[in-house]
Structure 1
Amino acid sequence: MTTASLLTHAPRLAALAAGVAMALGSLSASAAQFNAKLSLDVPEGNTKYEAAQQFADLVRERTDDNVDIQLFPNSVLGGETESAEGIRLGSVQMGIITSSVLSSWVPEVQVLDLPYVITDEANASALSEPLTEALSSSFEDQGFHLLGFTVNGVRELMSSFPIHSIDDIQGKKMRVIQSPLHVDAWRAAGANPTPVPAPEIYNSMQTGVIDFFDNTATNYLTNRFYEVAPYYVKTDHIYAMGTWVVAQNWWKRLPEDYQQAITEAALEVQSRVPEMRQKDDEAALAETVADGATIIDIEDKTPWMEAMAPVREKYIDQIPDGAELVELIRSAK
């Protein structure tokens, strides 16, 4: 075939190659003894996605390709609530679901949303093992097999105005997630909490419906929040935790050695996540600063902790085994 002919047929050849690749991928998946769909609410390249990909690769390797985990990013299988429902029903086999989403089935995980209950990065990284052991049976009762927890990111303030102390947020309109706990915590801190769905944050900032909100570093960049909230304020009030869950009915069908391989792969990747996430957070913030954002570090967080302490104590009493779970978290090092 001449060069000209090759150029003429290049698009057709590329399409054929892509079709062959998809067919081979499909054959690979169908050749596996067990196939799983893993749902993610983040795009490719996000720390959570990269961790899930490493996990899937390790599982394939350690089961001789007999367990094939396919990743579905960008909420293509539905939002986190829909994905959690799918896992319970068995239409989705796995997910790394934000802990607060699961609180309607396992109310104990609300402890992870209590402001300042997690003290620092070391504490956040160490809590997975004891918390998994404590909550596994509660998750199983609701159709989930629990593989552990990792930090999705630290919730920090993002604002249209500089915040140097808790005095600066008094009376200001803050977007909060649609949760009584978050509403109560920020009202106690002196803000005017306004529940707004996540997809409406940017527009609500742009139109002045809200003055500030909280979110994670990677979302500050990928959602271009810095365009409407040029101040990123490090209060470290909540470590947003991702919960690694598997459909219990799928898990029970696995041979014991495959269960062990999956468990070990999850633990290995989870141990890498803190370094991966911190590196990604630093890169994300550096990019926003280059685009005009200002980073403010709140060194003395005591006034914030004291303001929210009554709310924390109120919800500890309401959460099943709340006091014991908080003590377990705080003692994890």
Structure 2
Amino acid sequence: MAGALQEELVQHVYAALQAASCPLVEGLYLQEADSMLQLLCSPSQHRTDILAWICSSISPSFANSKTMSVRSKDPDVLNKEMAALGQELILCKASDLDLIRGNASAHRQLQFLEQLLTLVPGCKKSAGPRMDEELLLNELFTAENRPHLTQMLTPTLDPWPAHIKALRKGTKFSFKQNKEEAADVATLLQSTQTALEQLQSECEFLNSEAQNPGVFSPGSLRVAACDLQQLMATFSHVYETDLRAYCSRDPPSFSTETDVFQRVHQLLLACNTELDMLNELSEASGSMNEEVNKLQTQPHYWSRGEKRTLPDQLEELTRRSRELLTLLHI
């Protein structure tokens, strides 16, 4: 079941990439799920380029030309920036570099790509079904699978066939085994004995009877069976009291609209721009204040063979002007 779910999921992601008009998948006419899985979940430069294109489509600032040269020299810079964008979108952590490089599990990578593609503007949603936990639960609790689930919830430990039980109790059968049936049983017993001996030779813990004398003792088997029965009975009770009502409901629908993310991104970008302007204004004010202090305290102007500060120079000019006016009045 897991393989079928993964196959449908990789087809859904590949179809979403084609619907988003990704230039990196144009001309790739992949039909097999294994080929799509190799392209999307195996570490390669092509996969990194596809992921970078998705990030650039979601965040235009990600494709800033100022950082392209740095990314080309150090690929780790690009991986860290994509992980940081994933953290901003609450899809992964900044430390999930294995997920970005393609070293994580295929199912996790496909879920990550699917969530990213829902945020690409103008991306048309594929008509295929979404492969998630809700779909798995719906399939488990279908009408045809419910009897198997009920049998799993109420197990019975009855290893002996009916005719063996009758032999152990000393009862008689209404039928007689012929020679052919006896020969078949003997052959089956002989092959079983051979298989058990081969298994014992391959398993080290079966040969160490001195170290583990009671591994397969009847008491241990009885305790394990009782524990299993109690666990299944507990789960059956929880299912009947708490889970059954949820299993009969339709799966919840989650909105994948990206308007709220776009508005938040625009507001944060405007806030960052305003903060940058305030920071530059503060730096300009500090520089101007420093220049004024230098004019007030440091000598820059020559007068009568020596440098003077601006206040001293102004005071000297004022004094000389007054003396000149006094002479003119006389």
> Which structure has the larger Rg?
2
Q: Give the TM-score category using the shorter length.
A: under 0.3
* TM-score normalised over the length of structure 1: 0.22
**Structure 1 or 2: larger strand share?**
1
> Between Structure 1 and Structure 2, which shows a larger proportion of helix residues?
2
Question: TM (normalized to structure 2)?
Answer: 0.23
